[in-house]
Amino acid sequence: MRIIFFGDVYGKAGREALLSSLPGLKDEFRPDFILANAENLADGKGLTEKTLYPLLQAGVHAVTGGNHLWDRAESLSYIANQNKIIKPRNYPEITPGNPYGVLENEGLKLGIISLCGQIYMPPCDNPFTSLQNFWDHQKDKEDMPIILDIHAESTSEKRALGWFADGKLAAVLGTHTHIQTADEEILPQGTAYITDIGMTGSHDSVIGVRKEIIVNKLISCIPSRYESSHLGLQVNAVFLELDNQGKACKIERIRRIIEGETNAE
């Protein structure tokens, strides 16, 4: 089984970078499943049906969310009813979104879950306990590989969760910090791991926001309205290959620079 997972897709720049690169990546990697973190899809804050629809039409099978998934009140009903949006399962049951996605393509099946970290993050349940509870209820059911998006600030929390999940899940893939890390590996019991996939969007920025806004804010300590950058488009993603037992046999970082720019929106 072959999988591409795009790191946090940020605003219009991220959407255009993903869509423009996808045909070439499909030719190169021949993925069975295409996934993305999409909590920043709509100008860096949440997602909408309008911003997600083109990605699904282009072949993205499902998207994960994090702490910003619900930032747009007008999208809560859409999130609740679109089962291709996978919410962090350690948020309350009442919070809109699908806590567990099962994807199928040409006889292949893949499970996808998301968790948020607790360190330097908004309140949520313990991700380790949540994962263990999920695993205890899942392990005797359908036999399929499962991928986890761990959406967290702390590198140590992500790393610890990778070790905790080794042998249980096919992959533990970090998102949220928007900076691609160079620590991809396959852990001893067959779980692929990376601390952060990175960001798909404008890299002539501070994690998606126009760099001069953030620099001035840090110098002056005066709050400013954030505006998405549209320069330096780049794709950050990972490619996974799983064997017939659902164990990872390959993890490869993808970093593609996209020519041109887009208007922030």
Q: Exactly one of 68, 176, 178, 230 is catalytic; which is it? A: 68
Give me 111's structure tokens. 């499970």
Find the largest Cα–Cα distance for the chain. 56
Residue 68 among the catalytic residues: yes
Burial category of 73 from C-beta neighbours within 10 Å (exposed 0-12, middle 13-18, buried 19 and up): exposed
The dihedral built from the CA positions of residue 250, 130, 38 and 215, taken in this order, carries a sign that is negative
Give me 15's structure tokens. 């959407």
The pairing of strands 192-194 and 171-175 is: parallel
CA angle (247 as vertex; 197, 249 as ends), nearest 5:
65
If you write DSSP's letter for every residue of 42-108 in order, what string do you get? Answer: TTTS---HHHHHHHHHHT--EEE--TTTT--GGGHHHHHH-TTEE-BTTS-TTSSSBS-EEEEETTE
3-class DSSP state of 206: strand
Distance separating alpha carbons of residues 51 and 48, to the nearest angstrom: 5
Active-site residues, by number, are: 68
